[in-house]
Structure 1
């Protein structure tokens, strides 16, 4: 084999390896943090193993058939706070969790927050010897079910931000996990509370929230991704989104999906409307105060 042919085969092999690395890239780049300060135990290494297992589960599972390049992976965070009544020896844990995700803003080095969600019913069992495996159509452990549920919520929110109702492709999976998990009798999967996994799934799958979800595409793809080129036009588009959210809020007041939106977006909205046309700012503030009264004092500060 001459040198030219040998080099040719080397190049082909490298290209194949590169292509394979792209095709196998997972969807999420998830950072996992566990706060165990309330837990009385000498077995701190088990908590470390748990964190590593959750991180591996989130970052190596292929959640969809879509192909992601490394830089396209969705940035997200999972902050788990273990409760003081957790029993490390028995492998039983009570916890709360905060889920965060973001997406890049086109033409900038900035990220736009997509999801901030607080789950106060994150109870589970974990043993270091037990691998985290998820089967979509079977009853799995509550930990893997909850993690998979939030993986698909993150994907749904991200897809909605890039295509109109783009999250529809994964919403059935969220509902499927919910239905399978209700048989296990863990908190958070039933309608008993207004701020839990049941209602987040209900909002995402309910046609009443389609205008809200359509607004996520308008907010991110049509406004934020064009903000550097046309800031005033982008602000007006975001005002249109707030009008849609207000309409949904009138039908479903205090809905968890709307609350989660403002948990993620209130600071970003303050920055967006900190300058611009005074009439547009006034219009935005009036809408924000009416939909998100919790942050009304912050929004009113925008009126100079």
Structure 2
């Protein structure tokens, strides 16, 4: 029996004024690094899994943003092998949670992966803040960490694509994936992202990278000196290759339905531009860089650098409407 309602007594939503400003995100808390929770290793539930767990793991948790008080389901994906990407099928995993002010991880529940290597964690409505989720595999001791962000209505955010937008080119993702090298950043990309963080905006990283790139992407963000969450990757090659604009449009609409107010978005591809405009962002809110800058009516950023853009469009941008 799942007793989450008792485990989450300290986290449950408390009454708040409907007129209060949203909480500002706290990048320094998002950037903290924690040791994985300790849990006992055990036997394999599915004995055949022992033949894949010697391979490198590419586990990931699909980050979620949810409105205050709204239940949410978090999905973890377990995958082994840089080439085969074999799913961890029908295996026991353990979920843990850690709030931004918690001193330690809190065990939540045990789940079993399905035939696609996915396990889910259902959580009740919680108060606003940044939460870490950890999912561990007792059979081999591996695991993965992700972010759950609980927001109040009209939490202002700035959205960034990654490849060709924060990185120099789309091809740079191979280095992150293989661990051979970190992707080169676009000129002044760090300053661009950090400027909005300093102004109090929630960062959103929305990429069409497929899920097994999440591990390397988080490492790259940390290497850049940027918080790892909220990071949203695609869960299938088909989506990444053939449904990119549709996928990003859906994700933006979902974010806004959960209380996020995207004030600006940055991309480089035609699919980014299409998603920004189709999701209801205005041309003045939608920025594109690179060879397709200005596509679909978006505002172009010239010279493949953010230097001039920061001076003319960011340095005088107001603080986020938060407290």
Q: Does TM, normalized by the shorter one, top 0.5?
A: no
Higher RCO (CA 8 Å, separation ≥ 6 residues): 2
Bigger proportion of residues as helix: 1
- Normalized against structure 1, the TM-score is what? 0.27
- Normalized against structure 2, the TM-score is what? 0.26
